[in-house]
Structure 1
């Protein structure tokens, strides 16, 4: 925002109340979604972790709205990202069961409308930076350029689906990653649909992402073009890594170093918004794709008071941290309103006046509680497991503060030796009739089952049973994109036909592409 515009806005705030200012403000605010990977509800300072150091997220939270009842639509990577970008449960687009592997030809169908595609008619430029994990396919057909993004830089999946070597200074090899196997090609960095570095240098990858993100912001500010930046960090998914800025800096060890790298990325993007004077013109959302990978022990995250973690439909698998920041529009504080990643697309449509996609949406506009001091429109949420199928469908339903649990199942991602037997991968699917029920406002850890014959909540249980039956009956499962036959030749390789494949795929220093440089190498964010 220019100084002239800032003075005009300040005068407007003096003359009129904030709610009136909102109705007069531009219909084309910038949008930033910063998406963490495998970050648990209890991992960052604003959510109470005692030894995490996340000063940039702490300030974002202090100036923004911390959501305490926010859910990802899935407990693993690919389906949660599909739901975020389309506002639809993952089954509708075929991103089930599980995740998309780079060896499989599937991906987010090209007829699905993403946030980027929704905003394009409104004149927005869009960028996708970081982890994609919604398919690579033949000839890179499923990468971000095919889904409305004008700029993209990133890996097609997480570094766990490729070889790696060094993850921390000084020369520390990756933990819990296929570093020395022939299962995958080396990590390939894509600029658009072209590989520009393979294997990617994880120790400098964050710097490349941040430089591209900052450059994208600056260029759009110069051209006075509204923009959408989808920044999907690799942190804190395995294998954890961190560059020079954060290696060896955390009390939480290498996971903490990776978390500090995530916080540094947030700070850099925030700083670019601040330096260009557009913080109050930018709707900024920070969240995580699913709960923590407890199977990694201290190399994994923390779900705080929530039960279990990644891969499960317990609260620890799907309730995630979320902070929404928009100075002058959103009052800082903590919100107990119920919302989901599914709600982000319709909310962005509302604030930008973009036309909603002409498809079945599962999200709700969050504007009533973000801007108007009202309650959330969302009253229910359906928990679908990573291995969802048409026979079992949803495992649980939340209605207002109540959660009715019809099926429970553990996950290897929540640790095979977890002290809570319910979380372990060896704990098979169990049907509960009547369903268990928990009051999540009083019992977020799901400790006390309220569903008994003489329970005063019996009528609520019966109502939720019917809600589930009705919703599951209407759910349309598209053809699965994650279970198409594997084909090793689909793995990214910058010099196809080389021998021995897949280890031979190397092309460091592609001179046809140059990374934008950071304004100052010692910038650290806020």
Structure 2
């Protein structure tokens, strides 16, 4: 696109003159962002999980840094990924929800600048493997028009529900798989989902193979690379849940096969443990290729845990000490695991309470690459935290979210406080001291009207109206 070429030229000039970022002569690190789908804050052993086994992610945390206050971009997938890609919070980013019918409002535009586009100006080769959800093959949101050099996976989020699909996208071409699918009766989110009656090709396994191939190919070149590995585990196949009662699709139950659990519970646990082993495989590959010390790997989840596979939430306690799950703006819906691994740079066995969120990946990645991000961002680099330079670490005045389903809601996190307003713009404001009350069980709004007023102003000022995302019959207070 013409606009992208102009922006890239501007960024190239800016990157050459940037003072901060990569030091002169320093090698630019490779970067891998691994994103799980609907993985809860408490789903990993290193975050308190007692039932599901995650030894490799626990090892990753032991060898790297564990964030205890890391937040997703939103509480459902598409808007959360929009925040991750653009570095803009929910009051500014273009994609603010999961669309029901008009998928154009869930697609990034040509004028939206992604982290992949900025890294490309710094000489990076960018690969996307897995679930995109921000544009189809025939519009401006298509990943090969948003800074990625290669793409393999799902474009549509409903298509991504099915772990045994009939096809995946390889670039702009459909790659036919050997599975056979029984379709749902109606389309949702621009796609008619279903479940496989013939299961051969498991999409997650294909993603891991493609990611490994991408790393091998890039290791043979002199260019740094950015791999966005957007896994679908442990998201449920919602259509399979509705049509046959079990949405936890996995080839086998592994170490949980003999447990006295429902198949849904076995499947949920097996999915997470399978993903855990594959993250370990990626880390092992980096060591084998002798590029681990020049590669930052960051692992997280796009939102809090789901209850959509038919499994028992009480068995696994996936949100740990937090209140709420996916679609809530309580901590359980948006506070997620954040693990950084970069041998020789990120201090091993470290833990940080630095408050960061998806939007900060833009500033972090571009600082490490020696590039310059676009203006008007809601993004602060957490590279100083990764490098154990706390005196250099800047902090957000606040973090902001908004959500348009279930009557709508807003939230803001600042200092030790968290405020939630339900519905947006007009509801009563709840206030919690999440440092002292991580489960948000004690609403202290009545005792602190001055703090509630401050939070209300933050929420009002953060929302920039978007005609695609409006609450019918309501308008923001000004």
Question: TM-score interval w.r.t. the shorter chain?
Answer: 0.7 to 0.9
**Alignment pair present for 1:449 and 2:449:** no
**Alignment pair present for 1:294 and 2:294:** no
Query: 1:398: which partner in 2?
Result: 413
Deviation at 1:271, TM superposition (A): 1.6
Query: 2:115: which partner in 1?
Result: 115
Q: Which runs of 5+ in 2 are unaligned?
A: 1-21, 180-198, 238-247, 260-264, 471-478
1:21-36 map, 5 Å: 26-36=26-36
Q: 1:462 to 1:131 in 2, by over 3 A?
A: same
**Aligned-partner Cα distance in 1 for 2:455–2:93:** 26
The one-character-per-residue Cα deviations of 1:467-493 (angstroms, maximum 9, x if unpaired) are 333333xx2526469xxxxxxxxxxxx
Give the root-mean-square deviation of aligned CA atoms: 2.9
Partner SS for 2:390: coil
Deviation at 1:132, TM superposition (A): 1.0
Larger mean CA deviation between 201-210 and 108-117 belongs to 201-210
Query: 1:142: which partner in 2?
Result: 141
**Aligned-partner Cα distance in 2 for 1:431–1:106:** 26
Query: 1:345: which partner in 2?
Result: 362
The one-character-per-residue Cα deviations of 1:341-368 (angstroms, maximum 9, x if unpaired) are 110110111111112124x211111133
Larger mean CA deviation between 38-47 and 129-138 belongs to 129-138
Query: 2:189: which partner in 1?
Result: none
Query: 2:326: which partner in 1?
Result: 310
Q: 1:400 to 1:249 in 2, by over 3 A?
A: farther
1:84-103 map, 5 Å: 84-90=84-90, 92-99=92-99
Partner SS for 1:449: coil
- Find the structure with the greater CA-based Rg: 1
Query: 2:18: which partner in 1?
Result: none
**Aligned-partner Cα distance in 1 for 2:154–2:41:** 25
**Aligned-partner Cα distance in 2 for 1:234–1:250:** 25
Larger mean CA deviation between 140-149 and 272-281 belongs to 140-149
The one-character-per-residue Cα deviations of 1:402-436 (angstroms, maximum 9, x if unpaired) are 01222269xxxxxxxxxxxxxxxxxxx9821xx22
Q: 1:225 to 1:137 in 2, by over 3 A?
A: closer
The one-character-per-residue Cα deviations of 1:128-173 (angstroms, maximum 9, x if unpaired) are 00111112153x6533211111111101134x44785x86xxxxxx
**2:97, 2:106 within 8 Å by CA — same for their partners in 1?**
no
**Alignment pair present for 1:193 and 2:172:** yes
**1:92, 1:478 within 8 Å by CA — same for their partners in 2?**
no
**1:306, 1:315 within 8 Å by CA — same for their partners in 2?**
yes
**1:383, 1:395 within 8 Å by CA — same for their partners in 2?**
yes
**1:162, 1:187 within 8 Å by CA — same for their partners in 2?**
no
Query: 1:413: which partner in 2?
Result: none
**1:38, 1:236 within 8 Å by CA — same for their partners in 2?**
yes
Partner SS for 1:94: coil
**Aligned-partner Cα distance in 2 for 1:79–1:310:** 13
Q: 1:268 to 1:461 in 2, by over 3 A?
A: same
Count, aligned residues: 409
TM-score after normalising by structure 2: 0.78
**1:100, 1:133 within 8 Å by CA — same for their partners in 2?**
no
**Aligned-partner Cα distance in 2 for 1:316–1:476:** 27
Q: Which runs of 5+ in 1 are unaligned?
A: 1-21, 168-185, 410-428, 482-526
Deviation at 1:244, TM superposition (A): 5.4
Partner SS for 1:324: strand
Deviation at 1:80, TM superposition (A): 0.6
Deviation at 1:265, TM superposition (A): 2.3
